[in-house]
Structure 1
Amino acid sequence: MRIARIAQPDGLAFAAIEGEGDDLVAAEIADEPFGKPTFTGRRWPLADVRLLAPFLPPKIVCVGRNYADHAAELGNEVPAEPLIFLKPNTAVVGPNAEIRLPAASERVEFEGELAVVIGVGGRDIPVERAMGSVLGYTIANDVTARDIQRSEVQFTRAKSYDTFCPLGPWVETEFDPTDVAIRTELDGEVKQDGRTSQLVHDIPALISFISTVMTLRPLDVILTGTPAGVGPMRPGQSVSVTIDGLGTLTNTAAAR
């Protein structure tokens, strides 16, 4: 099921996205969207509503240098253990929202990523049970002020500006992330072109490792890393991240 949060004529709502291609419909969900949803019966063509970020994660755990080719392009070694850091949930924006480029940075870059949404969560989750903790998957752009990242010991400021974590367009609860294509386009030109099978540390390993450090809660998000090809955005440029089977997340860069 594809679960989205939408702005519809009467306000905000959760909805299941049904159909394919140009015939997508948003079917309103009454209450809890991530359990057994109850539908209100109200439906809108997707073109008549606005997609928002699917939800606000309690925390966003990011994984750095998890594609060997991306680590190499930045001159870094592949870490033996997952390299993790956090983004604040105040960085989250939805599809078609602006990515605001801060004046403090001269080089803000896109990083298209597969995002894992936690369902059950827990602590010290064994690898063999890790996938049972997953609610679903969505798409993320781990926007990074690269010049700031390179100038500081830790990543917090470079990764945490408001609008630096676009999420969407929805959460897909029935999806096999093992080997799917992930592509990022800047103004229609392909910049990143990888596959999730290239992850250095796979999803079960990430969930298990992170859960030994911090308790994972329902709706926490794990950003699994980005393939090679990251690059800068300028005001007015459009960046689209597509993951086969999940859809496309598009945002436009703008001056802050």
Structure 2
Amino acid sequence: MTEYRRILLDGVAVQVVRDGAELVAGDGRRVKASEAVHLPPVEPSKIVAVHLNHRSRVEEFQIKPAATPTYFHKPVSSLNAHGGTVIRPHGLKYLNYEGEVAIVIGRTCRGISPSKAGEYIAGYTVANDFGLHDFRDTDAGSMLRVKGSDTLCPLGPGLVTDWDFHGKYLRTFVNGSVVQDGSTDEMAWDMHYLVADIARTITLVPGDVLLSGTPANSRPVQPGDVVEVEVEGLGRLTNRIVSGPTGIRPDVGAQPTESEEVLSTALGGDWEFRGIRPPRRS
């Protein structure tokens, strides 16, 4: 396996290769990985994410498993990187983490079979599919503002080639404590299936990203929290939550809500079944 990263080196975006604790540029310059300013490891033309692919997540919501996957889109303007800050706009309450594996396309593909999909994958990276569930009601099924707002798609630290996605753990940490603990083996549809499914009608080009779903226990985080996603063989993606200096304009568009739909989604869909009213968050 080889791990490629993109960093700022002397003010210029440079692709580097990880060599232990150091990152090595093509011209031989070296920098400590812990000191590097990271960029997203790829530059996609599109980011596509799948709903409810982990069995534990389906069971958490107490719903019937879907027969086929459904998807939503995150704009490329939502991209963020390892070490980047994730912004929760002032006044919003329900910013949830979702640790995931991201599939990165390496060759243009359309109309391929699942058995051939691996030939079109450049590699994999770690993702955190953050969502602002305050907008859950106003965006209906599109998830555009919920999942597509600025900074809500951290990827990294690097792109790893020749990674076998079978039997790998996926864990999310908040301030050092494990909050999600899943496995790629609990996915209803594996990485190759997802690529082939999307490519039936959408041409995927090099750099495009597919997010493959999150395990149970996505919950809100607060400004000041440090959220880390670790995937076996891919590394650990770290981001800090900050409060945005401004809120959502009140004079245009639908406003954030705290309906039962918002609360049950943000808090895992379990509170209402226990008859417990969730605490209000600051």
Question: Normalization by structure 2: what TM-score?
Answer: 0.82
Query: Which residue of structure 2 aligns with residue 116 of structure 1?
Result: 103
RMSD between superposed Cα atoms in Å: 1.4
- Counterpart in 1 of 2:38? 51
| Alignment deviations for residues 21-64 of structure 1 (CA, whole Å, 9 cap, x no partner) | xxx11111xxxxxxxxxx21222222342222112211001001
What is the CA distance between 1:75 and its match in structure 2? Answer: 4.1
CA distance in 2, matches of 1:77, 1:51: 40
C-alpha distance in structure 2 between counterparts of 1:208 and 1:202, whole Å: 10
Matched residue type, 1:168: G
- Are 2:109 and 2:199, in contact at CA under 8 Å, matched by a contact in 1? yes
**Percent identical residues:** 33
Provide structure 1 residue ranges, at least 5 long, that are not aligned to the other structure.
29-38
Using the alignment, how far apart are the partners of 1:10 and 1:103 within structure 2?
31
SS, match of residue 28 in structure 2: strand
Worse-superposed segment, 146-155 or 111-120:
146-155
What amino acid sits opposite 1:220 in the alignment? Answer: D
Contact 1:187 1:238 in 2 (8 A): yes
For 2:83 and 2:103, how far apart are their aligned partners in 1?
A: 21
Aligned length: 242
Alignment partners' CA distance in 2, 1:160 and 1:10: 28
- 1:215 matched residue in structure 2: 203
Is 2:183 aligned against 1:195?
yes
| Correspondence for 1:248 among 221, 228, 236 | 236
Q: Is the Cα contact below 8 Å between 1:169 and 1:249 reproduced in 2?
A: yes
Q: Which residue of 2 aligns with 1:63?
A: 50
Match of 1:145 in 2: 132
CA distance, structure 1, for counterparts of residue 38 and residue 193 of structure 2: 32
Q: Quick check: 2:56–2:186 contact (8 Å CA) kept in 1?
A: no
Could you say which residue in structure 1 is the equivalent of 2:18?
17
Instruction: Give 2:255's aligned residue.
Output: none
Query: 1 CA distance for matches of 2:60 and 2:133?
Result: 13
* Partner-residue secondary structure (3-state), 2:164: coil
Identify the range of structure 1 (181-190 vs 118-127) with the bigger mean alpha-carbon deviation: 118-127
Q: Given residue 70 of structure 1, which amino acid in structure 2 is its aligned partner?
A: R
The one-letter code matched in structure 2 to 1:111 is: E
- Greater mean deviation of Cα atoms: 172-181 or 9-18: 9-18
- 1:149 CA drift (Å): 2.2
**More displaced stretch, 132-141 vs 70-79:** 70-79
Higher strand share: 1
Structure 2 segments unaligned to the other structure (5+ residues):
245-282
Q: Which residue is equivalent to 1:27? A: 24
1:25–1:43 Cα contact (<8 Å) kept = yes
Contact 1:66 / 1:78 at 8 angstroms: preserved in 2? no
Which residue, out of 41, 49, 59, partners 1:72? 59
Aligned twin of 1:83: 70
The residue identity in structure 2 corresponding to 1:11 is V
Larger mean Cα displacement after TM superposition, 174-183 or 68-77: 68-77
Contact 1:66–1:225 at 8 Å: present in 2 too? yes
Letter in 2 for 1:232: P
The TM-score, its normalising length taken from structure 1, stands at 0.90
